[in-house]
């Protein structure tokens, strides 16, 4: 959790007076780039952290080494708690760190700091959906990453096949409340969805960590690969300009407006397959016109024919189902 790292970075600087990004990275078991971003985040939040260039330089707090947080001003303390507070709402570890920070503050700052920590709420669940529970094995995997120990995964693949394999855990990523394990395997670096791990055993064997490995960079390559896969099929759609926001809600970043003429927007949308593009657009009816992509138009025509066959043969309520029954189910 990033909030835990920020607190740890702050306390480490207070203990040492000055620390380099490389030293912080070694202490926190992260890449130098990640450590540098954490230090910059503290500075951006208003915490008096600044870099000292040149030989023997590094990052330090104004006022040099301190053993607690009482040297922060009221505004600086509030800025830090605003930064940490949302994470504390979803992380027991961050919440514990927050309580320690409160106790370290002067009495006059505590009320404002606690109010700042409660100023932002993180609700990871989308409307109409339940909040995802953090997989129980995350803690075990995190410990294996920090201790650099190989793990034996009992893993269920996308198609339902189950396999057991020993991997070198390199790092964990929480993306939109879905956890992923980046690991080294005999076939190269692989990414595993943690919610598909049905069993994990930490071995006594030391894990192999590639020299210069940076989790943020490795995850960036994963994102690039997945984004490319998600853009394999594209179609150009014309809709009223006022509907672009809704279309973007369906396709996310894979929805690009190419131009607007007389209140009609020309939009490029993408998905992994023609069927997936068509499924998103089918509910639009005549409001959306696919002007480019024969394969997507063909899928829309097929879906339309299926719906007409199932629901368009009668005009009365309950048509299309068995007489006296529950009606037709979903299309097969």
Residue 249 within a domain:
yes
Enclosing domain of residue 187 = 138-214
CATH number of the structural domain spanning residue 85: 1.10.10
Asked if residue 224 belongs to a domain, the reply is no
User: Domain check: are 18 and 112 in the same one?
Assistant: yes
Which residues lie closer than 8 Å to 41 by C-beta, 6 or more apart? 2, 6, 83
Q: Are residues 196 and 258 in the same domain?
A: no
> What DSSP character marks residue 330?
S
Residue 131 lies in a domain: no
Residues 178 and 258 in one domain: no
Last residue of a domain, one of 169, 189, 214: 214
- Both 196 and 247 in one domain: the answer is no
Residue 72: predicted pLDDT: 57
Instruction: State CA 49 to chain mean position distance.
Output: 27
By CB neighbour count within 10 A (0-12 exposed, 13-18 middle, 19+ buried), where does 300 fall?
Answer: buried
209 and 280 share one domain: no
Residue 254 forms part of a structural domain: yes
Same-domain status, 11 and 97: yes
The pLDDT of residue 205:
92
CATH number, residue 280: 3.30.70
Angle at CA of residue 107, ends 103 and 109, nearest 5°? 90
* Phi and psi torsions of 171, nearest 5°: 175, 160
Count of domains observed in the chain: 3
Residue 77: the pLDDT is 59
Which segments of the chain are extended strands (E)? Answer: 18-19, 49-52, 58-61, 149-156, 162-175, 178-185, 188-193, 197-206, 233-240, 255-261, 264-271, 289-292
The answer to whether position 328 is within a domain reads no
The answer to whether the pTM exceeds 0.85 is: no
Supply angle C-alpha 196, 197, 199, rounded to 5. Answer: 145
Q: Name all contacts of 90-98 with Cβ < 8 Å and 24+ positions apart.
A: 90/122, 90/124, 91/1, 91/3, 91/4, 93/1, 93/4, 94/1, 94/3, 94/4, 94/7, 97/3, 97/4, 97/7
Count Cβ atoms below 10 Å from residue 200 Cβ, excluding itself.
20
The reply to whether 109 and 32 lie within a common domain is yes
Judge if 191 and 153 occupy the same domain. Answer: yes
Asked if residue 65 belongs to a domain, the reply is yes
Domain assignment present for 317? no
Shared domain check, 152 and 81: no
Q: Where among 117, 150, 174 does a domain terminate?
A: 117
Classify residue 282: in a domain, yes or no: yes
Both 143 and 86 in a single domain?
no
User: Residue 192: which residues within 8 A CB-CB, separation 6 or more?
Assistant: 153, 155, 167, 180, 181, 183
pLDDT per residue as tens digits for the range 94-148: 666 666 666 665 565 566 666 665 655 556 666 766 666 677 888 889 888 888 8
> How confident is the model at residue 41, as a pLDDT?
77
Instruction: Report the distance separating Cα 102 and Cα 150, nearest Å.
Output: 38
| Residue 241 DSSP code | G
Walking along the chain (332 residues) 10 residues at a time, the average pLDDT comes out as 64 74 82 83 72 74 53 58 59 62 60 61 64 77 89 88 92 83 91 91 91 86 82 92 92 90 94 92 92 94 91 57 40 36
Cα(132)–Cα(53) distance, rounded to whole angstroms? Answer: 44
277 with 235: CB under 8 angstroms? yes
Are 278 and 303 in contact by the 8 Å Cβ rule? The answer is: yes
- Whether residue 9 is found in the same domain as residue 41: yes
Write the CATH number for 164. 2.30.30
Give yes or no: residues 180 and 262 share one domain.
Answer: no
């Amino acid at each position: 959790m990033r909030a835990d790292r920020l607190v740890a970075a702050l306390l480490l600087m207070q203990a040492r007076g000055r620390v380099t990004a490389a030293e912080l990275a070694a202490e926190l078991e992260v890449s130098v780039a990640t450590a540098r971003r954490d230090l910059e985040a503290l500075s951006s939040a208003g915490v008096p952290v600044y870099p000292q260039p040149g030989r023997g330089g590094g990052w330090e707090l104004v006022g040099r080494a301190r053993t607690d947080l009482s040297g922060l001003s009221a505004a600086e303390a509030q800025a830090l708690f605003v930064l940490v507070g949302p994470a504390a709402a979803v992380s027991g570890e961050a919440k514990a760190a927050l309580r320690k920070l409160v106790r370290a503050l002067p009495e006059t700052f505590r009320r404002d700091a606690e109010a700042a920590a409660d100023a932002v709420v993180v609700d990871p669940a989308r409307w109409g959906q339940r909040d995802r529970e953090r997989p129980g094995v995350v803690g075990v995997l995190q410990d294996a990453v920090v201790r650099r120990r190989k793990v034996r995964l009992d893993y269920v693949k996308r198609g339902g096949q189950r396999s057991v394999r020993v991997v070198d855990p390199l790092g964990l990523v929480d993306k939109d409340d879905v956890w992923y394990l980046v690991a080294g395997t005999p076939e190269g670096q692989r990414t595993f969805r943690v919610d598909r791990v049905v069993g994990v055993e930490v071995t006594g064997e030391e894990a192999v960590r590639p020299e210069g490995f940076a989790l943020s960079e490795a995850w960036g390559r994963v994102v690039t690969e997945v984004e490319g896969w998600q853009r394999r099929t594209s179609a150009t759609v014309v809709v009223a300009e006022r509907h672009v926001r809704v279309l973007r809600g369906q396709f996310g970043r894979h929805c690009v407006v190419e131009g607007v003429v007389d209140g009609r927007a020309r939009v490029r949308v993408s998905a992994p397959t023609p069927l997936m593009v068509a499924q998103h657009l089918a509910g639009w009816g005549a409001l959306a016109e696919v002007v480019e992509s024969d394969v997507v138009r063909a899928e829309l025509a097929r879906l339309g024919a299926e719906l007409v066959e199932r629901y368009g043969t009668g005009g009365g309520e309950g048509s299309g189902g068995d007489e006296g029954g529950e009606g037709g189910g979903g299309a097969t």
